[in-house]
Amino acid sequence: MTIRLRIVIAANTFDSSPFYFVELTLHLYSRAANCLHIKGLGNLKCTINFAQVLNINQVVMKKITYLSGVILTLFLTLTFHLAAQQAETSFVHIPSTVSQEARVFLQILPDPSHKPLLPVAEDIKAWKAVQQGKEQLGLEIQKPVVKRLQPTVTEIELGGVPVLEIKPKNWKENGQVLVYTHGGAYTMLSAKSTLGSSALIADATKLKVISIDYTLAPHAQWQQVTDQVVNVFQALRKQGYAMKDMAIFGDSAGGGLAAGSVLKMRDRGMGMPAAVILWSPWSDITDTGDTYVTLRHAEPSYLYEKTLKPSADAYAQRKDQKHPYVSPVYGDYKKGFPPTLIQGGTKEIFLSNFIRHYQALDTAGQTVKLDLYEGMSHLFQSKIPNSPESKTALSKDDAFLKQHLAKK
């Protein structure tokens, strides 16, 4: 009989929010089972299938069961003790106005000042190492959501760009598609490691999602990356989709990429998708805006100078960082833009981005909604998907798309 206990505290996404992956495995003559989830604390995999173990008499069976119970009890006690300790020393303020699920999540967020500085743009080798590590963590983290939602995922290529085609469970063809540009500061993650986010919105909207696996910076910069997004839309049009049947969704850096790419499509005379949904968009990659200062010590996800600035420099040269395709808050929206929904939380240093982007669209006469959530941190929709806040946000995403996509 072998007993192995493994506790891994890993990064939730590129911003290194903690994620608990806990596994307790009991091997009994090469037999084991996995099965328990602790709400708010992560995943406890625990497989005990004694009934199928052969050649064990009742006395031995009782001893094994008792020992397993003792181990599991000790483990759970340790887990909750660690959670309680973290709650007492939590970096971020936990308001009484958020859900219990949000409080549990906020309690485990660490001080972002302890995170390492990302490489300079020219250090390709160092970036590859960072990207590999973040990718592996991202792949692990999205597994529970994907397992629960059970989407059908297919790797394909559109316009020479690798993408994932994600169909929600029980999907039915309706001639509509939602294109997704993932987050990760333009320098980390992929369509595969952000499958949790694309699967969530596919499930909420029942739309087919095309997740673009664009080339990460510094291996490509904004000109090439936005072209990749444009190429995917061109390929979808060749497949028979009209712009009125397509929408675009982006989160964090992917939000900035989505908006910037739509501006590029508009300026090229391609037309524009029917709607835009932005989760916590990095709409200005420079540290411009009031909340970059006022929320600097309240933001639990990252520090600009350690994570965001190196990524911004890898994605665009300094002279280009306020180009509208890079930082779409500077776009000229009087020329037109699709109806846009911007969602974010009040703990984000990007809050000024959301407000400035909203004002730029609104004052230009465009249809735009700013949907802010009390006490929420960056990308709460995907990080605490079972929270009331996330469910509300996703339901609004669904309603917004149903309102603005062409009626079928």
Write out pLDDT tens, residues 317-333. 999 999 999 999 999 99
- Domain residue limits at 37: 2-89
CA 40 – CA 63 distance, rounded (Å): 32
Residue type present at position 299:
E
Q: Is residue 214 included in any domain, yes or no?
A: yes
Give residue 50's pLDDT. Answer: 40
- Specify which residues 340 forms β-bridges with: 276, 368
The answer to whether residue 107 scores a pLDDT higher than 70 is: yes
- Specify which residues 177 forms β-bridges with: 208, 246
CA 169 – CA 35 distance, rounded (Å): 23
Q: Both 80 and 126 in a single domain?
A: no
CA 370 – CA 93 distance, rounded (Å): 24
* Averaged pLDDT, 88-97: 84
CA 405 – CA 315 distance, rounded (Å): 31
The answer to whether residue 362 scores a pLDDT higher than 60 is: yes
Q: Is residue 107 included in any domain, yes or no?
A: no
Q: Which of 19-23, 119-123, 136-140, 213-217 has the lowest mean pLDDT?
A: 19-23
Give residue 61's pLDDT. Answer: 58
Cα Rg of the chain (Å, integer): 23
Q: Both 234 and 305 in a single domain?
A: yes
* Averaged pLDDT, 34-61: 44
CATH number of the domain where residue 291 is located? 3.40.50.1820
Band of the pLDDT at 127, cuts 50, 70, 90? very high
Q: Is residue 305 included in any domain, yes or no?
A: yes
Tokens matching residue 137:
């963590």
Q: Both 8 and 52 in a single domain?
A: yes
* Averaged pLDDT, 87-97: 80
- Locate the DSSP E strands across 84-230: 152-158, 161-167, 177-181, 208-212
Q: Both 151 and 83 in a single domain?
A: no
Band of the pLDDT at 356, cuts 50, 70, 90? very high
Q: Both 15 and 57 in a single domain?
A: yes
Of residues 372 and 408, more confidently modeled: 372
Give residue 14's pLDDT. Answer: 40
Q: Both 168 and 243 in a single domain?
A: yes
Q: Both 377 and 228 in a single domain?
A: yes
DSSP letter for each residue of 27-79: EBTTB----EEETTTEEEEEE--GGG--S--HHHHHHHHHHHHHHHHHHHHHH
* Averaged pLDDT, 174-188: 98
Give residue 180's pLDDT. Answer: 99
Closest by CA to 279, choosing from 198, 191, 361, is: 198
Give residue 385's pLDDT. Answer: 97
Give the count of domains, the chain. Answer: 2
Of residues 8 and 387, more confidently modeled: 387
Closest by CA to 341, choosing from 230, 282, 261, 255, is: 255
- Locate the DSSP E strands across 217-374: 246-251, 275-279, 340-345, 368-373
- How large is the angle between the packed helices 388-404 and 195-205, nearest 10 degrees? 60
Residue type present at position 352:
S
Band of the pLDDT at 43, cuts 50, 70, 90? very low
Q: Count Cβ atoms within 10 A of the Cβ of residue 34 and give its class: 0-12 exposed, 13-18 middle, 19 or more buried.
A: middle
Sign for the CA dihedral angle at 95, 98, 103, 108 comes to: negative
Q: How far apart are the first and last CA of the chain?
A: 60
Q: Both 215 and 157 in a single domain?
A: yes
- Locate the DSSP E strands across 244-323: 246-251, 275-279
The answer to whether residue 40 scores a pLDDT higher than 90 is: no
Q: Both 208 and 257 in a single domain?
A: yes
Give residue 41's pLDDT. Answer: 37
Give residue 99's pLDDT. Answer: 98
Q: Both 82 and 128 in a single domain?
A: no
Give per-residue pLDDT as tens, 271-311.
Answer: 999 999 999 999 999 999 999 999 998 899 989 999 999 99
Q: Is residue 114 included in any domain, yes or no?
A: no
Q: Which of 46-55, 57-66, 145-154 has the lowest mean pLDDT?
A: 46-55
Beta-carbon neighbour count of residue 118 at 10 Å?
24
CA 345 – CA 238 distance, rounded (Å): 38
Q: Both 393 and 313 in a single domain?
A: yes
Looking at every residue in the chain, the average pLDDT score rounds to 86
Give residue 72's pLDDT. Answer: 66
Q: Is residue 108 included in any domain, yes or no?
A: no
The answer to whether residue 166 scores a pLDDT higher than 90 is: yes
Of residues 9 and 125, more confidently modeled: 125
Domain stop point among 68, 89, 110: 89
